[in-house]
Chain A
Amino acid sequence: MAALLQVENLHTAYGLSKVLFGISAEIDAGECVVLLGRNGVGKSTTIKSIMGLLTPAQGRVVWKGQDITGWAPHRIARAGIGFVPEDRRVFPELSVWENLDIAARAARRPGHWTMDAVYDLFPQLASMRNRMGGYLSGGEQQMLTIARTLMGNPELLLLDEPSEGLAPLVVDMLLEKIGELKRGGLTILLAEQGLEFSLALADRVYVLEKGTVRHSGPSRELREDRALADRLLAL
C-alpha cells in the first residue's frame, strides 16, 4: 500500500542559501513520525515545503498518490493536511471562538472535529471562548493553534516544534493531548529537538542533519540504545 504522504528527494532553499539536500520520507496512515534534529538542520523547512509555504527547487510531495508539489497552502489545507506552526501564532484580534470558527469555515472539511469536540479536548479553551487571542498565554495559544488546526479535520497533522519555549508542565499536558490525538487514529508528523518528547510519541524517527536524513528507523531503536541516540544527535 502506498504511504499517506511521500516526500521524495526534497531540495529547498531560502533564496541562495540551500537548506534541504534531498530529504525523503514516508508516513503511513495512523503513524506518528518524528523529524528529529538540532536547530537549523531543516526540520521546519521540510514541514513548510510539505505545506506549500516554501516551494522546493527539486523533489516531490505526494499526498494520497497525488503530486501536490507547488500547490498553494490553502489547497493543501483543504486536501487534509493541517499545520501547527512553530510560532504558534493565533489571530490576536479574534476571540478564541472566532479563531476556531474561521478555521472550520476556511478549511471546508466537516467531520469529527467540531467546536464541542475541541472544547472537550481542551476544556481550558471552552472557559475562555470569548477572550481575544492576543490575551492568551503561550500554552493557551499553543492549545488554540492545535484546536484551530483540528477544526479543519485534517488527516495528517504537521506539528512544528510544539514544545519549544513552553513551561515543563505545559509540555507534559501537550504530550498527553498529542498522545490522545494519536490514539484517536490521527496521523502525525512532528518536528522536534527534544529527544524525550519525541520518543514518547514517535513510532518512527528520521534524524536530520545538515539537510539530509542521517538515520531512519523505528523509535524503539533509539529508546533502547541511548548511545546511538547520543551519537546521532551529538553533532
Chain B
Amino acid sequence: MSRSLFDRIPWVLVIFIIALGIPWLGSKYYTFLATQIAILSLFAVSYNLLLGSAGLVSFGHAAYFGLGSYACGLLMKELGVPFLIALAAGGLMAAAFAAGFGFFCVRLTKIYFSMLTLAFAQIVWAICFQWNELTGGDQGISPIPYPGLNWLSSVPGLDGFRVGDYFYFVALAVVALCIAALHRISVSPFGRMLMTIRENPERASFIGVNVRAYELAAFIVAGGFAGIAGALFGIFNRGVFADFLYWPKSAEVLIMTILGGMNYFWGPVVGTGMLVVLNQQITAYTEYWPLVLGTILLVLLFAFPGGLLGALHAGWTRLRSGGRGVRPGA
C-alpha cells in the first residue's frame, strides 16, 4: 500500500526525542507535568484501542490502571521486587483481570457492555477500598520506593539531574515502547478487524470475524497497557490509592480521549496534555476549578466534536481543498 510522507514519519520516535529534552529546561515543575502527561497518555492510548478502534465504550478502564498500580506498588514496597519485574507484573495482573471481566462484558453490547465494565470496576474499587490488610484501604500504599536509577547518572550527558528527572527518562522510555506497540497493533490486520467491528459488528461477523473473541483480545491488551500506565503512575505519585480505580478516573480517560480526538491514534495524547495542563493552570488561579474546567471542556467538546485533532485535520483539509479525500482517522 502506498503511504504518504506524513504517514512514513516514525511519530513515536520523533515525539519521544522531543519529550526527552524536557529535563534540560531545568524546571522541576515541567518535568513533573511531562511525567504525568506521558504516563496518562499511555493510559488514554490504551483506552482508545477500545473506544477508537473497536468502538467499545468502557466506563471501567480505571480498574486496570488501578490494579496495575496496586500490583506493582505492593511488589516493590512489601517484597522489594525490582522495578522492571514489578512493572511487568502490574501489566500482567491488569491483563489477567481484563480477561476475566472482559469474558463477561463482551457478551453484552452497547450501553449494557458499558454498564458491566463500570460494575466490575466499582467492585474492584470497593474491594481495594475495604481490604485494609492488603491495600491499606483508605490510606493506600505509600511510600512506594523509587526504583534505583542512580546508574543513569553515570551515562555520559545525563549526570547532574534530579531523581525525578531520571524517573522521567525511564517512564518516558517505557511509555514510548508501549505506545509504539499499541500503534503497531492498531495498524495491523488485528487493528483493522477491530475497525470492521466498530463500523458494523454484524457485517464483520458474516465475513467470518469472531466478534467476541476480537473484542475480548482488545479488552485484554488495553487492560494490560493500562496496568503498565498505572504501575508507573503509582511510583510517580509515590503512593497507590483507591482513587486510582474509582469511576471518576474512568471518566477522566474517556474525556481525555474524546477531547483529543478518538478517531486519531495521537488524539488521546493531545487530550491528555490538554487536560493535565488545564487542570494545573486552573487550580493555580481559582478554587472553583472544577466549575471552570467543566465549562472549558463543555465549550471544547461543543466546538470540536471530532476532538482537537479532528478540528486541526478539518482545518488542514480545508486549506488544501481541491485535494483528494483524506483518510478519516489515519
A interface with B by C-beta (< 8 Å): 51-53, 72-74, 76-78, 83, 85, 89, 91-95, 97-98, 101-103, 105-109, 130, 132, 134-135, 148-149, 152
**Is B329 engaged at the interface, CB distance under 8 Å to the other chain?**
yes
Contact A73 B1 (CB under 8 A): no
Provide a sorted-by-A list of 29 A–B residue pairs whose CB atoms are within 8 angstroms: A51-B206, A53-B206, A74-B205, A74-B206, A74-B208, A74-B210, A74-B211, A76-B206, A77-B208, A83-B206, A91-B195, A91-B200, A93-B199, A93-B327, A93-B329, A94-B196, A97-B1, A101-B192, A102-B192, A102-B193, A102-B209, A103-B207, A106-B204, A106-B209, A107-B208, A130-B1, A134-B328, A148-B207, A152-B208
Contact B206 A73 (CB under 8 A): yes
Instruction: With CB as the reference atom, state the residue of chain A lying closest to B209.
Output: A106
Instruction: Specify which of B193, B195, B207 is in contact with A77 (CB 8 Å cutoff).
Output: B207
Interface flags, B99-143, vs A, CB<8A=1, else 0: 000000000000000000000000000000000000000000000
Work out how many contacts link A and B, with CB atoms closer than 8 A: 78
Residues in A with CB closer than 8 Å to B200 are 89, 91
Residues in B with CB closer than 8 Å to A92 are 199
Task: Report how far A213 CA is from B48 CA in the complex, Å.
Answer: 49
**Is B203 engaged at the interface, CB distance under 8 Å to the other chain?**
yes
Instruction: With CB as the reference atom, state the residue of chain B lying closest to A154.
Output: B208
Contact B189 A105 (CB under 8 A): yes
Task: Report how far A152 CA is from B328 CA in the complex, Å.
Answer: 27
Contact A85 B206 (CB under 8 A): yes
Interface flags, B160-191, vs A, CB<8A=1, else 0: 00000000000000000000000000000100
Contact B208 A106 (CB under 8 A): yes
Residues in B with CB closer than 8 Å to A130 are 1-2
**Is B157 engaged at the interface, CB distance under 8 Å to the other chain?**
no
Q: Closest Cβ of chain B: how far from A134's Cβ, in Å?
A: 8
B interface with A by C-beta (< 8 Å): 1-2, 189, 192-193, 195-196, 199-200, 202-211, 325, 327-329
Contact B203 A106 (CB under 8 A): no
Instruction: With CB as the reference atom, state the residue of chain A lying closest to B202.
Output: A53
Instruction: Specify which of B199, B202, B325, B328 is in contact with A73 (CB 8 Å cutoff).
Output: B202
Contact A91 B199 (CB under 8 A): yes
Residues in A with CB closer than 8 Å to B193 are 102, 105-106
Task: Report how far A101 CA is from B204 CA in the complex, Å.
Answer: 13
Residues in A with CB closer than 8 Å to B195 are 91, 93-94
Task: Report how far A53 CA is from B200 CA in the complex, Å.
Answer: 13
Contact A102 B325 (CB under 8 A): no
Instruction: With CB as the reference atom, state the residue of chain A lying closest to B203.
Output: A89
Please indicate which of the listed interface residues B202, B203, B207 has the most CB atoms of chain A within 10 Å of its own CB. Answer: B207
- What 10 A-B pairs come out closest when comparing CB atoms? A107-B208, A106-B208, A77-B208, A73-B205, A106-B209, A73-B206, A83-B206, A103-B207, A74-B210, A74-B205
Q: Closest Cβ of chain B: how far from A131's Cβ, in Å?
A: 8
Question: A102 with B207: in contact, given A93-B329, A132-B327 (CB under 8 Å)?
Answer: yes
Question: A108 with B189: in contact, given A93-B328, A132-B327 (CB under 8 Å)?
Answer: no
Contact A102 B196 (CB under 8 A): yes
Q: Closest Cβ of chain A: how far from B223's Cβ, in Å?
A: 24
Contact A98 B192 (CB under 8 A): yes
Instruction: With CB as the reference atom, state the residue of chain B lying closest to A102.
Output: B192
Q: Closest Cβ of chain B: how far from A91's Cβ, in Å?
A: 5
Instruction: With CB as the reference atom, state the residue of chain A lying closest to B204.
Output: A106
Q: Closest Cβ of chain A: how far from B54's Cβ, in Å?
A: 13
Residues in A with CB closer than 8 Å to B202 are 53, 73
Residues in A with CB closer than 8 Å to B203 are 85, 89, 91
Contact A135 B204 (CB under 8 A): no
Task: Report how far A146 CA is from B140 CA in the complex, Å.
Answer: 58
Please indicate which of the listed interface residues A89, A92, A102 has the most CB atoms of chain B within 10 Å of its own CB. Answer: A102
Question: A132 with B325: in contact, given A89-B200, A92-B199, A105-B189 (CB under 8 Å)?
Answer: yes
Task: Report how far A107 CA is from B202 CA in the complex, Å.
Answer: 14
Instruction: With CB as the reference atom, state the residue of chain A lying closest to B2.
Output: A130
Task: Report how far A164 CA is from B209 CA in the complex, Å.
Answer: 27
Instruction: With CB as the reference atom, state the residue of chain B lying closest to A152.
Output: B208
Please indicate which of the listed interface residues A77, A78, A91 has the most CB atoms of chain B within 10 Å of its own CB. Answer: A91
Please indicate which of the listed interface residues B189, B206, B209 has the most CB atoms of chain A within 10 Å of its own CB. Answer: B206
Residues in A with CB closer than 8 Å to B210 are 72, 74
Contact B209 A74 (CB under 8 A): yes
Residues in A with CB closer than 8 Å to B189 are 101-102, 105
Contact B196 A91 (CB under 8 A): yes
Contact B208 A103 (CB under 8 A): yes
Q: Closest Cβ of chain B: how far from A126's Cβ, in Å?
A: 14
